Structure 1
Amino acid sequence: MLEYYGYFKAFHIVGFVSWFAGLFYLVRMFVYRAEVNEKPEHLREDWKKQFSIMEWRVYKMIATPAMVITWICGLSMLALNPGIFQQSWIHVKLTLLVLLVVYHFSCRRVIIMQDKDIDTRSSMFYRLFNELPTLFLVAIVLLAVMRDLLDFVKLFFGILIFGFLLYTFVKAYKRRREKSNV
């Protein structure tokens, strides 16, 4: 059975790359849908319908199947190599993955709220919301690659600094965009 470990690992990587791509694209559409309310009224309904169709397709046909593949292959690797549970990094990684699943399902809730027209959050909110998976991605990859060589405290503060830098860039981009629209 151990001979299949490499296949599980390969498909685990394909799964998480696809999962993150789906989440990044999905939340980017939330940004655009939030901006639809700034468009002329006669365009709004058609655009909202189109974004809804696109969001549900990405969520159901890309992000969710990719999440399932990631988990199945990851858990299969753990089953084939149970000794890995003795290492502390895997516990942190699994915790981050559970939080990422919460993020994933919160995206579903956003689609539902936007479809019901009860979501009043700004495009700026969604730009920042779109950066959360980046933080997860950096932390999870560093944990998987560096394992116990990485000091988790340094990792945590490094990710916080990285998150602050992302926030700063998003705010600067917003200011630049607002200046160019004047």
Structure 2
Amino acid sequence: MKVLLLLKALHVVGFVSWFAGQFYLVRIFVNHAEAFDKPAAERSVLAPYFTGMEWRVYKIILTPAMVITWVAGLGMLGLGLWSDGVPNYFAMGTPGWMHLKLLLLVLLSGYHGWCKTIIPKLETGASPYSPWQFRLLNEVPTLFLVAIAFIAVLGKSGQLNYLYLVLGVGLFAGMIYRGARAYAKRRAREA
């Protein structure tokens, strides 16, 4: 049981760090993309600075945090499947909740890897997205976080309604998009 609690604590530390790193990395992408609109002298200082920050965040925060999250989570899952006295996470709660959570974690890991492909593009001076598009991409981990948290808490307790989950996350995504559009319009008026 002590091993399960240790793994659970590591899992929490891992996913908190992983999400924090994802929010920070894409925010750096926003700043990096905005630097391309600066005068050449300023851009020549900012672009390498942001590239260095992006690689450090990716290698020192994001990737280790993802590994800790996965190792601790799979460790807990393994204990839940094969140890006496620990619940089988696939059998308890709402049917399929753990499958959905794992699917979202695989997709989030894909997003993590995709963010890595953006860094070299920015490094060469070709921003694949506008600052506003990067701001929207910065909200993708928020949607994963909300969905995974609700799945983990409500699914495990057997109170997860998949229709409400999809509607709720969809409504939340719409609110984020509307907020981002309003912010973009306000910035355009101020410029």
Shorter-chain TM-score range = over 0.9
TM superposition shift of 1:115: 1.0
TM superposition shift of 1:118: 2.8
For residue 125 of structure 1, the aligned residue among 133, 151, 155 is: 133
TM superposition shift of 1:119: 2.6
Instruction: Give distance in 2, aligned partners of 1:120 and 1:136.
Output: 23
Tell me the TM-score normalized by structure 2. 0.92
**What's the % identity of the aligned pairs?**
47
- With 142-151 and 56-65 compared, the bigger mean Cα shift is at 142-151
TM superposition shift of 1:120: 3.6
What's the CA shift string for 1:9-67, capped at 9, x where partnerless?
01101100000000000000000111011111111121000000000000000010000
Task: Tell me if 1:141 matches 2:145.
Answer: no
Partner of 2:18: 19
Task: Tell me if 1:102 matches 2:122.
Answer: no
Instruction: Give distance in 1, aligned partners of 2:41 and 2:121.
Output: 21
* Two-structure CA RMSD over aligned residues (Å): 1.0
Q: After TM superposition, what 4+ stretches of structure 1 lie above 3 angstroms from structure 2?
A: none
Task: Tell me if 1:35 matches 2:40.
Answer: no
Partner of 2:101: 93
Letter in 2 for 1:144: A
TM superposition shift of 1:113: 1.1
Instruction: Give distance in 2, aligned partners of 1:104 and 1:76.
Output: 21
Unaligned runs of 5+ in 2: 82-87
- With 38-47 and 21-30 compared, the bigger mean Cα shift is at 38-47
Partner of 1:166: 176
- With 26-35 and 114-123 compared, the bigger mean Cα shift is at 114-123
Unaligned runs of 5+ in 1: none
TM superposition shift of 1:3: 2.5
- With 131-140 and 115-124 compared, the bigger mean Cα shift is at 115-124
Partner of 1:4: 3
Partner of 1:155: 165
Aligned residues: 180
Letter in 1 for 2:161: D
- With 118-127 and 137-146 compared, the bigger mean Cα shift is at 118-127
TM superposition shift of 1:178: 1.5
Instruction: Give distance in 1, aligned partners of 2:151 and 2:129.
Output: 33
Tell me the TM-score normalized by structure 1. 0.96
Partner of 1:46: 45
Instruction: Give distance in 2, aligned partners of 1:88 and 1:121.
Output: 36
- With 161-170 and 35-44 compared, the bigger mean Cα shift is at 35-44
Partner of 2:187: 177
Instruction: Give distance in 2, aligned partners of 1:142 and 1:172.
Output: 28
TM superposition shift of 1:69: 0.2
Letter in 2 for 1:136: F
TM superposition shift of 1:177: 1.2
